[in-house]
A = this chain, B = another copy of it.
Amino acid sequence: MSSRSEAITCEFCIALQVRVLYCITGASSLVLKPKTTDDVSRIMAHCDKRHLAVVPQGGNTGLVGGSVPVFDEVVLSTALMNKILDLDEISGVVTCQAGCILETLDDHVAERGLAMPLDLGAKASCHIGGNVSTSAGGLRLIRYGSLHGSVLGLEAVLASGEVLDCMSGMRKDNTGYDLKQLLIGSEGTLGVVTKVAILCPSRPAAVNVALLACNSFADVLKTLQKGKAMLSEILSAFELIDSASMMAVEKYLHLRNPLSSGEFYCLIETSGSHAGHDEEKLTAFLDSVMEEGSVCDGTVAQGITQQKDLWALRERVAEALLREGYTYKYDVSLPTRHFYDIVVDMRRHLAGAAVLGCYGYGHVGDGNVHLNVTTRQYDADVGHRIEPYVFEWVRGRHGSISAEHGLGFKKRDFIHYSKAASAVAWMKRFKTLMDPNGILNPYKTLPE
């Protein structure tokens, strides 16, 4: 079996070092597809004994090279670990193997009036084990919180082959250290997640999607604050598309912006249990923000097709920018008041550079901005003007240089911009304790 990506040998990697930083491909001469936890345990024990490096791989949808072999690591794919083991309809807890695809799980729990507590663009192919290992965020974190809250139980195989059993279907369990939390977001460097138990909320009976135009980012902030207050418990997404990003989806993907003008576009979604109440709340909110002038134009989707069309304007920005040329992608968290400052500042900073555009979009409700810069083709000079400038900028505002994409291979050496030296030192100590031979997903997460 072979990995789906092209080969990069050690020499090749060094030769293409700069390119590798922006576009991760990798190869392995061995891809193993275990079916059970015991299979994983035996694989890990064997590899640990022989000091063979292993890359755990789920749906391979990550954006920082976390699931890609760097040299010749053995790929351990969870593709065949796809059994749904249990669904407790009363508590709403679904238990499954790590290789279950997020969308498959969501369809399964939907039959019982439940929803998975996360949703992301890659849902049709990403594995829940990968979601948990990378602490995936996504579109509805504003409503359902992070996986640190919704993962109730976890089983992982450690580097030695030992099975760490932290499985529980209980919402409350205060019996000692919550070890599973260390695995959530550790990108497969501490263990291979093999099973999870996740709390699912009630599936909303009614969903509304609106697109609103604002003339300034100050108006976006006013709209966000009013939305949190007036839509409160039914607010399930508050996303931003700047006018440059909107023009990109119109130009490259021929999508239609239903609003006539605006510097910023807010995509707002409500999800609730009562269609009439939700519509009333949304209408009152829209009346209020139009009246006070923070929103200059807006539309509410009529039916699912229109909802999908509005969502496409936000979800397909990255795809549109790929058509423009090479994209320098940054996924950062900032205090919400600085959310868009980074885009404005980057435009100023890159004035005169061979840059096609500088774009800002993302999860403004969570303070998570996707900053994208495009050039006709990869340009090392532009890269060096952006980095480490962008990371220093984020550090200066106490933000995070990786809000939801993780560190993987691409960003591990920038960890110091977001983590204190003491925290990085402790990460290394935990890594050494749990994986003394360093076989689990080497060259990822931890800095050189």
Contacts and interface: CB of A to CB of B under 8 A. Distances in A.
Given A170-B403, A234-B233, A202 B175 contact: no
A252 interface: no
Contacts of A137: 172, 174
A129 interface: no
A179 B224 contact: no
B335 A135 contact: no
A331 to B, nearest CB: 9
Interface string A70-89: 00000000000000000011
Contacts of A420: 164-166
Interface in A268-285: 271-274, 277, 280-281
B149 A145 contact: yes
A404 B182 contact: no
Interface in A356-398: 363, 366-368, 398
A135 B229 contact: no
B422 A165 contact: yes
A400 B175 contact: yes
A415 B175 contact: yes
A176 B233 contact: no
Nearest to A230: B273
A368 B259 CA distance: 50
A401 interface: yes
Given A149-B150, A169-B398, A171-B368, A419 B176 contact: yes
Contacts of A433: 429-430, 433
Interface in A210-235: 221, 224-225, 228-234
Interface in A398-422: 398-407, 411, 415, 418-420, 422
Interface stretch (A12-20, A28-36, A102-110, A183-191): A183-191
A184 B178 contact: yes
A50 to B, nearest CB: 23
A297 to B, nearest CB: 23
A321 to B, nearest CB: 21
Contacts of A291: none
A229 B427 contact: no
A149 B337 CA distance: 23
A133 B351 CA distance: 49
Contacts of A296: none
A437 interface: no
Contacts of A229: 113, 202, 273
A181 interface: yes
A401 B184 contact: no
A441 to B, nearest CB: 13
A446 B402 contact: no
A168 interface: yes
Contacts of A277: 274, 277, 280-281
A423 interface: yes
A273 B333 contact: no
A224 B419 contact: no
Contact of A171 (B166, B224, B367): B367
A169 B121 CA distance: 26
A445 interface: yes
Interface string A228-272: 111111100000000000000000000000000000000000011
A148 interface: yes
A173 interface: yes
Nearest to A143: B233
B163 A422 contact: yes
A228 B233 CA distance: 14
A334 to B, nearest CB: 8
A1 interface: no
A25 interface: no
B335 A169 contact: yes
17 contacts: A90-B221, A113-B229, A137-B174, A169-B335, A170-B398, A170-B403, A172-B403, A174-B400, A174-B402, A175-B402, A176-B185, A176-B446, A177-B426, A231-B273, A232-B272, A277-B277, A277-B281
